[in-house]
A and B are shown apart, each in its own frame.
Chain A
Amino acid sequence: MNAPMPAVLRQHLIDPEICIRCNTCEATCPVAAITHDDRNYVIEASKCNFCMACISPCPTGSIDNWRQVPGAKAYTVEEQLLWDELPPELSAEQLAAQLAELAGGGDAAAVVDAVAAATPETPATDPTGEAAFNSAQWGAQVPPWSAAHPYTKLYGPKAPTMATVVGNVKVNEAGTENETHHIVLDFGSMPFPVLEGQSIGVIPPGVDAQGKPHHARQYSIASPRNGERPGYNNLSLTVKRVVNDPQGRPIHGVASNYLCDAAVGDKVQVIGPFGASFLMPNHPKSHLVMICTGTGSAPMRAMTEWRRRLRQSGKFEGGKLMLFFGARTQAELPYFGPLTSLPKDFIDINLAFSRTPGAPRRYVQDLMRERAADLVALLKDPNTCFYVCGLKAMEEGVVLALRDIAQNAGLNWETLGATLKNEGRLHLETY
């Protein structure tokens, strides 16, 4: 394609220091955007349509480099052919200055904001000009046919019940920015039956700045139906201490800090349980594909643990478990230790880290695409249920990846996606 350049372009480039000049990228590029001379392999910005066909075949990783530049000043093929190394990323100020210069002067700061607003984390990938993809429309409103029947809303905001904190441990490495706690709550003799995938609300004590009682904060249950400690009336939560808002400005998350600071023996006001569709299938031959980030792992932990207990008791009949789990770094990933000690023939674990120093960013959808062959088989199997839980930003990428994987295997997504939704086999819970 020779589309007009956007104002700000995430330009696809090849690192000449790492590239071994093997010609694989040029041979695989479907739009002939890659060319070479005796010195370098380079990508022509006006031809590259970000189809990513060259990414996984590259044996070196040198192909996976991106620089944000003004579209009108994209690095030319001639320039790239002379490089010995990649140019550094332009700072926001440099980029703004170049844009302002191109626009004939103006407010650099305003341009910076415009750039920030206009630039997605990953390159825009829809060269077809079709309507925007709406991932949420594919989420099921019904549970899988074999799910156990849940109890919901036994306790409302006006009549919460009380639980006692009986455990509070950190489940990722000390000192990480996204400190995450595993909190165990015991309900004593109060009835509180739950299923994996359900959530509860916690009402922090005290009042807000306006003098009103705090609202309840909802948390997914991280333990299986028979409790964190089987045979006791308890459950667990995965709680991340919130110290920054999504824009990175410091804030103090009321409920998360209250729970992370709770001491064993503290009493907590709880409402719920909630959720009647994000439930796991009950028949033991069903397959689970679990896709999550951060504390979105809570329901996945619950489901995995339930299956593990079934397996231990001999009631498990070999349904597959496949997990795609994303975090910024390994240190921030909750339950890393216990997760990696699970038997490999029991669960197929795929971890994506987006901020490992010195390593390129990897997201769960990247891993899903790599495992396309396995996912296609599972997509075709009516015994498979898909669960997505984590930050809102992940949802679209994940559902798009599922769609692409299906379509690349010759499946019709419109039909398959509708079936998954209608049969309660694709569940989205993002926040």
Chain B
Amino acid sequence: MSTINYSEKIPNNVNLSEDKTLQRALEHWQPNYLNWWNDMGPDGSNNFDVYLRTAVSVDADGWAQFGHVKMPDYRWGIFLNPKEEGRQVNFGEHKGEAAWQDVPGEHRANLRRIIVTQGDTEPASVEQQRHLGLTCPSQYDLRNLFQVNVEEGRHLWAMVYLLHKYFGRDGREEAEALLDRRSGDSDNPRILQAFNEPTPDWLSFYMFTYFTDRDGKFQLCALAESGFDPLARTTKFMLTEEAHHMFVGESGVSRVIARTCQVMNELKTDDPAKIRAAGVIDLPTIQRYLNFHFSVTIDLFGADESSNAAIFYNSGLKGRYEETKRGDDHRLQGQTYKVLGLKEGHLIEREVPMLNALNEVLRDDYIKDSIGGVQRWNKVIEKAGIPFKLQAPHKAFNRKIGTLAGAHISPDGRAVSATEFAARQNEWLPSVEDRAFVASLMGRVTEAGKFANWIAPPVMGINRQPVDFDYVRFN
């Protein structure tokens, strides 16, 4: 059992105390981190005891321990999955070599870039969510928000550890920059655009945790295949925690839908105006939020043709989703993949070299996984007997990155004119009025067991606690 050492200021299972230089570097970074958390972490949450899931070891029975923890005293630290003896690089030109325990010189810059990009998303989402606690629909949801926040915080720690341990002075500077950038700041924004979008309300939060944290799952899965073993082990552990974030999103949206359907059946209406008047979010608005978050998130996978992706794969830095479960040659030379393009105003499919299309491969894996959840939301609507189906929009809809950037594609995949797109934009994406309406519902509910009118209670509590359990003690 790889037990985590709590006797130090920085809980870890990487023998930090044996590497005094690294320990000092991280101890120097830590107060800055805490300052960042105090400035940019959840608003007004200091001194709350929150029922959090915390890791006491990284094996099956140790990483999910539940108990009330004071918010700033969460066990921030560095946890890596145990080392797998004899692990190899499983893809690319180094396939079959022993996995690297140190950074290969020629891949140093690329690896640093991958780690910095991943690391930057972690504090960014905490910043995006920092005001949400003030409008939580229940204590249960507030606890889930905080759980997501602290784990994002600790995932930042994981990436910072890699930067400090393996990238020398450059790494230290990058680690500091992670605390300097701010989500949405015009002068010093976060690296990826989706992490500069505001998360103004809880419907956005649920959509974000469903779609965008699912992007996190796929990116982490691809990094967990890396030939650079410390990165693989770090991201494997992060993945175990990421699941909860997606759960918050999937169940959150599902509960919003359940409540809406309940009110629709009570009022016997599908008129959005009447449904809104009853204080719940109508299904077409939910569809528009879905369209927005889906399209913004699939941009996170990058350009559909990317030489970087090819280099990352070929050099063994970043694999595909479930790389080792795939039955091909794991080198992909000479293979092709279909990507979408636009020709004379029509969407067409082009064959491009597989290695250059790996962003698209990961995006397509993601889309398949995302749509599965949308179908589960539809089951809720179907069960309520309402003839309405939510749909993931077409892959080319509302894209800002890659060959489809700026193309005018409707959610059902038709190329339309710029005029038509502009005219129907409010039908397809949340309008200012939609956002204002959703914002108008956001009132704070913190009494145990009580829920805001626009959302149904969860099927069960966290860690099998009752729904009216004291998830947050406000002290």
Contacts and interface: CB of A to CB of B under 8 A. Distances in A.
B240 interface: yes
B441 to A, nearest CB: 25
Interface in B453-475: 459-461, 463-467, 473
Contact of B244 (A59, A370, A409, A410): A59
B414 interface: no
A309 interface: no
Interface in A151-169: none
A353 B464 CA distance: 10
Contacts of B66: 56, 370
Contacts of B239: 23, 27
B65 A54 contact: no
B60 A372 contact: no
Given A22-B246, A373-B65, A359 B60 contact: no
Interface in A275-311: none
A interface, how many residues as a size bin? 35 or more
B56 interface: yes
Nearest to B54: A373
B21 to A, nearest CB: 30
B459 A18 contact: yes
Nearest to B460: A61
A362 interface: yes
Contact of A54 (B60, B236, B463): B60
A56 B369 CA distance: 23
A388 to B, nearest CB: 21
B240 A17 contact: no
A410 B243 contact: no
A26 to B, nearest CB: 11
B65 A370 contact: yes
Contacts of B67: 370-371, 373-374
A24 B464 contact: no
B interface, how many residues as a size bin? 35 or more
A53 interface: yes
Interface string A1-43: 0000000000000000110111110011110000000110000
A57 interface: yes
A253 interface: no
A356 B3 CA distance: 35
Contacts of A353: 466
B368 to A, nearest CB: 7
Contact of A59 (B247, B372, B459): B247
A409 B3 CA distance: 8
A59 B461 contact: no
Contacts of A59: 243-244, 246-247
Given A27-B239, A57-B64, A374-B67, A20 B251 contact: yes
A408 B65 contact: no
17 contacts: A18-B459, A20-B243, A22-B217, A27-B240, A53-B61, A56-B65, A56-B66, A56-B463, A61-B459, A61-B464, A344-B68, A359-B464, A370-B65, A372-B61, A373-B67, A408-B61, A410-B1
Which 5 A-B pairs give the minimum distances between C-beta atoms?
A: A22-B243, A53-B60, A59-B244, A59-B247, A56-B64
Given A21-B369, A56-B64, A410-B3, 17 more contacts: A17-B376, A17-B379, A18-B460, A20-B373, A22-B247, A23-B239, A27-B239, A28-B240, A38-B372, A56-B463, A57-B64, A59-B247, A358-B459, A359-B460, A359-B464, A359-B467, A374-B67
